[in-house]
Chain A
Amino acid sequence: MAKIQAAAAAKIAEICDRHKDENTPLMMILSDIQNEYGYIPLEVQEIVSQKTGISVAEIYGVVTFYSFFSLVPKGKYIIGCCLGTACYVKGAQQVIDKFSEVLKIQPGETTEDGLFTIDALRCIGACGIAPAVSINGKVYPKMTVSQVTEVVAQYLIAEEKMKEGETL
């Protein structure tokens, strides 16, 4: 198995130590790793297992139980479509379907270029502006199907510009 770099391993160990005075801190450790690295692969879980004495299978079970934890890296832009009831009754399903169609991925998946991930979210509490879509924290209120292509295009254009900036 490919081992992660020593520096990263040390960092993971440090995160584990951060919570060593807490009772049963596994969830806290995993949350921190998820926040810092964006995902929790098996190699990382092995380190957590060594530090906490919890078996890898058990940690893996926890990671795959909670939707907040991911085993694979997510896209640069995470498109979170709220599918809470308020958004759903106002057409959120059509919006997320449209994102799927435009990006050619299903919710939960990441585009091949690593740019976009579509996430179906449980109610994010923005019911007043339903249907709500959040992209890397920026909220798009009252989203409509016809806006989807345009929103995606904005990010693609920004990305192109960034690339040009790099090559110039």
Chain B
Amino acid sequence: MSVLNIKIDGISCQAEEGMTILQAARANGYEIPSLCEFNNGECNRGSCRVCLVEATGARGLVASCVYPVSEGMEIKINSPKALEARRESVELLLSNHNQNCQQCDKNGRCELLHVAKLTGARDNMFVGVHTESHIDRLAPGLVRDTSKCILCGRCIERCKNAQGLGILGYENRGFNTFVSPAEDRSFQNSPCIQCGQCVNVCPTGALMEHSEIDKIDEAFKAGKHIIAQAAPAVRAALGEEFGYPVGTPVTGKMIAAMRRLGFERVYDVNFGADLTIMEEGTELLGRLQNGGVLPMITSCSPGWINYAEMNYSDLLPHLSSCKSPHQMQGAVIKSYWAEQNGLDPNDIFVVSVMPCVAKKYEKERDQEKVNGIPDVDAVITTRELARMIKRAGIMFNRLPDEDWDGDIMGDYTGAGVIFGVTGGVMEAALRTVYFKLTGQEKEDIVFTEVRGHDAGIREASLDINGTTVNVAIASGMRSAKILLDDIRAGKSKYHFIEIMGCPGGCINGGGQPYIRHCFLENEPDDILETYKERRAKALYSEDERQVLRQSHNNPQIIKLYEEFLGEPNSHKSHELLHTSYAAREGFR
């Protein structure tokens, strides 16, 4: 790649051929604001016109996010003309934007507000009617409010490129354009899997998780026994909301904060993850030994479940019947734990803190209730937890490190921790399956073949005591589709497949903190490419620190089976910990 000599605002510097002006500027220490550009062209349309600069060789102003640098180019970021142009682009956007910023949950992480401040946009510069807005609050997972949309198109590209779904599109033309699933449908009545990847890229508050903080407030008011449980991926990312470097595990402080929020118990969903492995591992062995439907596919990602029910309903028998870990744990809280504490399950309110927005949908499913009582009452995202912590005035960085509540569900193993990253469920299951098949622990329990932190398919073939187990891992629906089409065509050689809805798994879930250059000033330029790896590392290192790293060795799990469930896949287990699936139309 050849090096080009350019000038930025009169200062000579260098850039690589093929770079856009924006990239070249960033490499030389300039951050040109942009609302449509995302991750070096992952979503990139040159449409918002907020990144305009002057450049020699071009007629007038150019959009730096799409315009390539060339030898000898002189770029002016700080010229009066460029400054004015950028400001006016923002002012026009604001003139068609619902500016109730005080009420907007995106405030503080809103890129439009950020560039408004940055460019010095004047108040009410251009006034006029707004595009008719469309608000969708029907879906439990996410909310769409087009009055805040700037039509950057990032969500459309993310859904199409990362997930291969293309749920969102532009509707109408010109000033009447808005983004929606076809026919302005709710996400709930479209083939949307509610993974929330679109939320993760939205620059404004147009796409958000469907907040359930109010629900929790109500439960407090009603005097419920409120039990909170947090998924493994949350601890690997929550710190980002409080200024910690990306990938800093903040488990202890998170527990301390949750306790200060008034939750009666604070549990780790890792216990549920261990329980899942016991059930799912047993189910897999059963299928392997009794000629059951293979390959068996994991079922802990509700985004993936949605996708399967709407697109591959013929393959539903391949899905493990296990509930996801937090649902299992919720069911245990409202049965065994309630019994132990002498409480009526109706007085218990279970809050799950999740990296996920699809879990908000999952908990509403009829198949996720026991005797009409939902396993989980509210699901909040990592971001919502951060909001609650900030709202309560808690100075997160001054908190002591505390530990999970230890009663009944306090123990957990490293196997549960790595659920949060793609390949983790597989690895955790293999650790237990190995033990069950051989009667002994594998010496080196790290299955590096299945590890990763990104989308794409990984596979491995393991010989366990003469039994060959072929496994594959996919995250993101684009990759999953390849494996599923093979199964449908009868060509799949696998016995066990792990599928996660989001590319990279839960660490990159739709409920995780936003990764943006403009809000992470101390992170390197390539943070959008490395954050998944860094969050994954946080989980793997926690696994390594654990003494117990196999689910079947969790003493409280053993106790739970002894005292309450009997054995994995028992009648009682099925009643509480297993679920069912049904085909659904995409457009309903």
Q: Which of B182, B190, B588 has the most CB of A within 10 A?
A: B182
**B221 CB-CB contact with A under 8 Å:** no
Known contacts A42-B182, A42-B183, A45-B182; A56/B171 CB under 8 A: no
Q: Contact between A1 and B587 (Cβ–Cβ < 8 Å)?
A: yes
Asked whether A46 lies within 8 Å of B587 as measured between CB atoms, the reply is yes
**Nearest opposing residue in chain B for A46, CB measure:** B587
Does B169 contact A61, Cβ atoms closer than 8 Å? yes
Cβ of B170 within 8 Å of any chain A Cβ, yes or no, is yes
Bitwise, A30-72 to B at CB < 8 A (1) or not (0) is 0000000000001001100000001111111100110100000
B278 beta carbon closer than 8 Å to chain A: no
Tell me whether A60 and B588 are in contact in the complex, defined as CB-CB below 8 angstroms, given that A55-B165, A65-B172, A65-B173 are known contacts: no
Within 8 A of A (CB), among B389-420: none
The distance from the CB of A100 to the nearest CB of chain B, in whole angstroms, is 20
Assess the A57–B172 pair: CB atoms within 8 A. Answer: no
Which residues of A are in contact with B by a Cβ distance under 8 Å?
A: 1, 42, 45-46, 54-61, 64-65, 67
A-side contacts of B183, CB under 8 Å = 42, 60
Which chain A positions have C-beta within 8 A of B167? 55, 57
* In contact, B587 and A57 (Cβ under 8 angstroms): no
B588 lies within 8 A of A58 (CB): no
Contact of B168 with A by CB under 8 A: yes
B160 within 8 A of A: yes
| Chain A positions within 8 Å of B585 at CB level | 1
Please indicate the chain B residues that have their CB under 8 angstroms from the CB of A56 in the complex: 166, 182, 191, 586-587
Residue of B169, B190, B191 with most partner-chain A CB within 10 A: B169
Report Cα–Cα, A42/B422, bound state, in Å.
36
| Given A55-B160, A57-B182, A57-B190, 11 extra CB contacts under 8 A | A45-B182, A46-B586, A56-B586, A58-B160, A58-B166, A58-B169, A60-B169, A61-B170, A61-B171, A64-B170, A67-B173
For residue B138, give the distance in angstroms from its CB to the closest CB of chain A. Answer: 16
Contact (Cβ within 8 A) A1 B588: yes
Tell me whether B205 is interfacial, beta carbon within 8 Å: no
Query: In the complex, what distance in Å separates the CA atom of A114 from the CA atom of B574?
Result: 57
| A60 in contact with B173 (CB, 8 Å) | no
Measured CB to CB, the nearest residue on chain A to B180 is A57
- Where chain A touches its partner, the secondary structure class is helix
Q: Which residue of B lies closest to A67 (CB)?
A: B173
| B415 CB to nearest chain A CB (Å) | 38
Q: How far is the CA of A67 from the CA of B160 in the complex (A)?
A: 25
Count of A-B residue pairs with CB < 8 Å: 48
Residues of A within 8 A of B171 (CB): 60-61, 64
Could you tell me which B residues sit within 8 Å of A by CB distance?
Answer: 156, 160, 165-173, 180-183, 190-191, 585-588
Q: Are B166 and A55 in contact (CB under 8 A)?
A: yes
Q: Which chain A residues border B191 with CB–CB below 8 Å? A: 56
List residues of chain B with CB within 8 A of the CB of A46.
586-587
Contact B166 A57 (CB under 8 A): yes
Contact between chains at B587 and A65 (CB < 8 Å)? no
- Give the residues in chain B near A60, CB-CB below 8 Å: 169, 171, 182-183
Q: Return 19 A-B CB contacts under 8 Å, by A number.
A: A1-B585, A1-B587, A42-B182, A55-B166, A55-B167, A55-B169, A56-B166, A56-B587, A57-B190, A58-B166, A58-B169, A60-B169, A60-B171, A60-B182, A60-B183, A61-B169, A61-B170, A64-B170, A64-B173
Q: Which residues of B contact A45 (CB under 8 A)?
A: 182
A49 to chain B, nearest CB (A): 9
Least CB separation from A57: chain B residue: B169
In Å, the complex CA distance between A65 and B168 comes to 15
Contacts of A59 in B (CB 8 A): 182
Q: How far is the CB of A4 from chain B (nearest CB, A)?
A: 13
Q: Which 4 A-B pairs have the closest CB atoms?
A: A55-B166, A57-B169, A60-B182, A61-B169
Q: What's the minimum C-beta distance from A60 to chain B, rounded to whole angstroms?
A: 4
* Alpha-carbon distance between A45 and B181 when the two chains are bound, in angstroms: 13
Query: In angstroms, how far is the closest chain B Cβ from the Cβ of A163?
Result: 35
Q: How far is the CA of A56 from the CA of B586 in the complex (A)?
A: 10
Chain A residues with CB under 8 Å of B586's CB are 46, 56
Chain B contacts for A57, CB-based, 8 A: 156, 166-169, 180-182, 190
- Give the docked Cα–Cα distance between A27 and B564 (Å): 62
Report the separation of the CA atoms of residues A61 and B156 in the bound assembly, to the nearest whole angstrom.
Answer: 11
The interface residues of chain B lying within 8 Å CB-to-CB of A58 are 160, 166, 169
A1 and B185 alpha carbons, distance in the complex (Å) = 12
